[in-house]
Chains A and B, each alone.
Chain A
Amino acid sequence: MKFDIKKIRQDFPILGTRVNGKPLTYLDNAATTQKPQNVIDAITQYYTTYNSNIHRGTHHLSNLATEAHEAGRQKVQGYLNAQHDHEIIFTRGTTEAINLVAFSFGEAFVTPGDEVIVTEMDHHSNFVPWQIMCERRQAHFRVVPFDENGDLQLDIYEKLLNERTRIVAFNHVSNSLGTVNPAQQIIKMAHDAGAAVLVDAAQSVQHIEHDVQALDADFYVFSGHKMYGPTGIGVLYGKESWLEAMPPYQGGGEMIDLVTIDKTTYNKLPFKFEAGTPNIVGPIGLAAAINYMDQFPFDEIMAHEDQVLAYGRERLLEVEGLTIYGNARQRTSILAFNIEGVHHYDLGTLLDTQGVAVRTGHHCTQPIMTALGIDGTVRASLALYNTREDIDTLLTALHKVLKMLGR
């Protein structure tokens, strides 16, 4: 289907609403995206017509729900170009997926004195779980810094890699700077050193290339709600060989094969990592979101978002005293800034009075803020439905707000 922005905006009912008496201008997509009507419908239809527990039911509704849930897994497999559908593990979100890998990989493969590498631009959710794991396994925690443009310092990364490096975890796209990290290169370097790699794709899977085999990622994780799907559903892709070799993360129903007083054996993949009744409707909503995106050639989505991003940077830089954070070689979707002498919280709060939704603060990346010597930014973040008009509205609101602040 042709990428028709007018039609696309109509597919997202919330974009037609008003906030504080003004038409909503939604620029907080890195926090969560809005949902198209087909996702909302898929969820409603599930609860209205075939809600049921899955996998062990003997009745009609259970079969329908199981089929739809598992079709969601295959949809994700297709979207990521994973080799097998059992390499797709459903989680609550990116955070749980990373915690799962940090725990289970750590149990299986990390011994005292081993090393784990993350980056200075990782979200706390791809930082803290590894710190916890390192403490538990008595491993060393290493951090790749970024330079003044917001690019990772790969020369330092290269020096950090060694035969004790067990795993490298990094975000493909930084949620605070918009940097697109050279994932293929980072992964290849890790593999050459004998380390596994986890890609935090929370901010990339909806914006840029997402082929796990082309990337050769060992683990690849993301959240449904940042790619037009519902909250509470996330994905851990893991190569079969790693997942087979890792112990379960949580015990309970669904994940077992045989339970006796002496010993329990575990279910096969992916269920080994999905203890308890899962978020049944989550994959159904996520599949609808992927269907929505699949209507358009992906390079058209990327081209549109890049165009709005470039326009946003250009317009923001017109504002006196405005600094943009994140000038990496390759960028996507994020416009982070501050205005001299104005607190980001005041800007964000007053932009809201104009119907403009942005995020302010440290964006769960305190190490980035420390490196930049600031305590937060205003962040406008884009999705496929944002337009140049949204940027114009942001700028008009920004000028009005600055006036309110006596500037």
Chain B
Amino acid sequence: MPSIQEIQHGIVEDFTFLPQWDERYAYLIEIGQKMDPLPDTEKTEDKIVRGCQSTVWLQRECRDGQVYLKADSDSLIVKGLAALLTRILSGQTAEDVLTAELTFFEKTGLDKHLSSQRANGLMAMIEQIKAFAAQCAAGEV
């Protein structure tokens, strides 16, 4: 499995390959659309990430000290962001997730173009994933 940094590097390369912002958004939306959607039965209240304009469902699992993630959102852009996050973090060890420095948002320039991170919920997703990774590393889940 490639490391967190390697995956982020690949994502940044993909984005910088697209010169126009229209294309970058289209790409982000496509990434989201390609991610397996959560079945409606899995979209339960306890998976909702608070603090976003859209609804984000985040499914977390801890197996053998590794964190596995699935996500979905009713916003295609947010779903794209969630897909990037799960691509980077899902399957990594809890320790690595916990200490991960997530730089893709800045390096792709998405931070300058998407409205506040509070609105898109990325920060809230990252906080929840890290909190879960801490529990996973401590053997609490």
Q: Do A and B come from one complex?
A: yes
**How long is the Cα–Cα vector from A348 to B54 in the complex, in angstroms?**
12
Q: Are B26 and A349 neighbours in the complex by a CB distance under 8 Å?
A: no
The prevalent SS among residues of B at the interface is: helix
Would you call A396 an interface residue if the criterion is a C-beta within 8 Å of the partner chain's C-beta atoms? no
Checking A345, A405, A406 against B119 with a beta-carbon cut-off of 8 angstroms, the contacting residue is A345
Collect the chain B residues with CB atoms within 8 Å of residue A376's CB. Answer: 53
Checking A343, A345, A350 against B25 with a beta-carbon cut-off of 8 angstroms, the contacting residue is A350
Q: Are B78 and A345 neighbours in the complex by a CB distance under 8 Å?
A: yes
Q: How far is the CB of B19 from chain A (nearest CB, A)?
A: 12
**How long is the Cα–Cα vector from A122 to B29 in the complex, in angstroms?**
35
Q: Are A345 and B21 neighbours in the complex by a CB distance under 8 Å?
A: no
**CB within 8 Å of B: which A374-392 residues:** 375-376
Checking A20, A346, A348, A375 against B76 with a beta-carbon cut-off of 8 angstroms, the contacting residue is A346
Q: Are B76 and A343 neighbours in the complex by a CB distance under 8 Å?
A: yes
Q: How far is the CB of B116 from chain A (nearest CB, A)?
A: 11
Collect the chain A residues with CB atoms within 8 Å of residue B115's CB. Answer: 348-349, 352
- Most chain A beta-carbon contacts within 10 A, residue among B77, B113, B114: B77
Would you call B140 an interface residue if the criterion is a C-beta within 8 Å of the partner chain's C-beta atoms? no
Would you call B101 an interface residue if the criterion is a C-beta within 8 Å of the partner chain's C-beta atoms? no
**How long is the Cα–Cα vector from A404 to B32 in the complex, in angstroms?**
13
**CB within 8 Å of A: which B105-129 residues:** 113-115, 119-120
With A345-B54, A361-B119 known as contacts, the answer to whether A353 contacts B21 (CB < 8 A) is yes
CB closest residue in chain A, given B73: A343
Kindly state the interface size class of chain B when it binds its partner.
10 to 19
**How long is the Cα–Cα vector from A165 to B7 in the complex, in angstroms?**
63
Checking A344, A360, A375, A405 against B29 with a beta-carbon cut-off of 8 angstroms, the contacting residue is A405
Would you call B135 an interface residue if the criterion is a C-beta within 8 Å of the partner chain's C-beta atoms? no
Would you call B45 an interface residue if the criterion is a C-beta within 8 Å of the partner chain's C-beta atoms? no
**CB within 8 Å of A: which B1-35 residues:** 21-22, 25-26, 29, 33
Q: Are A20 and B119 neighbours in the complex by a CB distance under 8 Å?
A: no
Checking A346, A360, A375, A404 against B22 with a beta-carbon cut-off of 8 angstroms, the contacting residue is A404
**How long is the Cα–Cα vector from A405 to B22 in the complex, in angstroms?**
11
**How long is the Cα–Cα vector from A346 to B119 in the complex, in angstroms?**
11
**How long is the Cα–Cα vector from A376 to B54 in the complex, in angstroms?**
9
CB closest residue in chain A, given B22: A353
**CB within 8 Å of B: which A17-48 residues:** 20
Q: How far is the CB of B120 from chain A (nearest CB, A)?
A: 7
**How long is the Cα–Cα vector from A155 to B77 in the complex, in angstroms?**
44
Collect the chain B residues with CB atoms within 8 Å of residue A405's CB. Answer: 29, 76
Q: Are A345 and B120 neighbours in the complex by a CB distance under 8 Å?
A: yes
Task: Report A343-373 CB contacts with B as 1/0, cut-off 8 Å.
Answer: 1111011101100000011000000000000
Listed A/B pairs (17) with beta-carbon separation below 8 Å: A20-B21, A20-B113, A343-B74, A344-B53, A345-B77, A345-B78, A345-B120, A346-B76, A348-B115, A349-B25, A349-B114, A350-B25, A352-B113, A361-B119, A376-B53, A404-B25, A404-B29
Closest A-B pairs by Cβ, 10 of them: A343-B75, A345-B53, A345-B75, A361-B53, A345-B54, A346-B77, A346-B75, A346-B76, A343-B74, A353-B21
The residues of A with any CB-CB pair to B shorter than 8 Å are 20, 343-346, 348-350, 352-353, 360-361, 375-376, 404-406
Known pairs A345-B75, A345-B77, A404-B29; list 18 more (Cβ under 8 Å). A20-B21, A343-B54, A343-B74, A343-B75, A345-B54, A345-B78, A346-B75, A346-B77, A348-B115, A349-B115, A352-B113, A352-B115, A353-B21, A375-B55, A376-B53, A404-B22, A404-B25, A406-B33
